[in-house]
Amino acid sequence: MYSDGDLDAAVSAGAITADAAHSFRMHVARSRQSEAADEEHFRLLTGFNDIFVSIAVGLILFAVTWIGRATSPTLAAGAVAVISWGLAEFFTRRQRMALPSILLLLAYTFGSWLCAFGFLSGLMDHGAAALPWATQLLSLSQWPAVAAAAITTVMVYAHWRRFRVPITVAAGMAAMLMTVLLAIFTVAPALRRDEMVLLLIAGLFVFYVAMRWDASDIARRTRRSDVAFWLHLMAAPMLVHPAFALLGLLGGGGIGSGRAVAVIIIYLVLGLLALAIDRRALLVSALVYVLTATSTLFKAAGSAGLSFALTALIIGTLLLVLSAFWHSARRPVMAALPGNLRARLPSV
């Protein structure tokens, strides 16, 4: 089985021409009765060897973490980051394995942050013992997490420059936003009450960046589309969760029939947006909310015992139908958009 990445590599190596690769993609798209630009190509597995290697990598990193904790958690985290980079030199850069590359990137990112945070916290503890007045006056005790996130952003950028794993951009974006938000909360602790607003703004920013990556490859033939996929997957919960929270739909006392209808209406709007940009991540991120809302409506109608089962049946059926007729459903949505906007989105 050949992936889009393999085709791109073959074009780069001169084994086939770009036109031949494009013709092959169009042939596959026609055989599946869909447009190649209208599919979210997502490579997670290139074969069972990906799972085999991922299990081995997980065991190695787990062992390093467990052994390292006996001496120093900070050194253990640093060792995980270093070993993840070293393994990526073979399994990512040479073997181009999808799932192991994702796992190694995530391990490298978390290892980098934990190592930086542990090291800076240790320095801060020594500084607090020597100059307690300075620590209290300048609120320095909160800054190790901020500095660690900033260092992680730089480390992830270095990983991107070396290996170009599509998920790396989303990981770097997460580290950068973590730096900014932690710095804001450290400088102005009162803004913590507005954390949902800030998270929504951050989600809108990630969504904007994802659309920029998408717009640079509306035919979805290159790695840019894969980068956009991960950014959309990151942006979706950052948009959906704060939006519902700000509307007061996440209270522990139940949402009520009126709010349940509001959730369903919002989900329909998200569905139209997902169809327009041809990204299904928004629908998946809001799924738990619409399931809860629909279940509430069934309970209000007197079907309390079967409410969740009926909800799962209806929502599951609708999603399957939408998946089967996704391209047909996109046509009227795209037709309603202005021409200049339609030109920036995958065509139907």
In the numeric block, which tokens belong to residue 40?
């979210």
Rounded Cα–Cα distance for residues 82 and 98 (Å): 19
Q: Encode the chain in three state secondary structure.
A: CCCHHHHHHHHHHCCCCHHHHHHHHHHHHHHCCCCHHHCCCCCCCCCHHHHHHHHHHHHHHHHHHHHHHCCCHHHHHHHHHHHHHHHHHHHCCCCCCHHHHHHHHHHHHHHHHHHHHHHHHHHHHHHHHHCHHHHHHHCHHHHHHHHHHHHHHHHHHHHHHHHCCCHHHHHHHHHHHHHHHHHHHHHCHHHHHHHHHHHHHHHHHHHHHHHHHHHCCCCCCCHHHHHHHHHHHHHHHHHHHHHHHHCCCCCCCCCHHHHHHHHHHHHHHHHHHHHHHCCCHHHHHCHHHHHHHHHHHHHHCCCCCCHHHHHHHHHHHHHHHHHHCHHHHHHHHHHCCCHHHHCCCCCC
Digitized pLDDT (tens) for each residue of the chain, 348 residues in all: 455 656 666 776 677 777 777 676 666 655 555 444 455 666 676 678 889 999 999 999 999 999 988 888 899 999 999 999 999 999 999 888 889 999 999 999 999 999 999 888 887 765 444 445 444 444 445 788 899 999 999 999 999 999 999 999 999 999 999 999 999 988 888 888 899 999 999 999 999 999 999 988 888 878 888 899 999 989 988 888 888 788 776 655 556 667 777 777 888 888 899 899 998 887 887 787 777 777 766 666 565 566 667 777 888 888 888 888 888 889 999 988 888 888 888 877
Token couple for 145: 């997490």
Question: 């900014």: which residue's tokens?
Answer: 180
Instruction: Identify the residue whose tokens are 């809860």.
Output: 292
Q: Can you tell me the distance from the alpha carbon of 258 to that of 184, in angstroms, rounded to the nearest whole number?
A: 36
Q: Report the alpha-carbon distance of residue 123 to residue 115 in Å, rounded.
A: 12
- Residue 287 pLDDT: 80
pLDDT score of 307: 65
| Model confidence pTM above 0.85 | no
Q: What pLDDT shows up at residue 124?
A: 73
Q: Which residue has the tokens 């709007």?
A: 269
- Residues 86, 345: Cα–Cα separation, whole Å: 38
Q: Tokens 């074009």 map to which residue?
A: 11
Tokens (6 digits) for 121: 């916290």
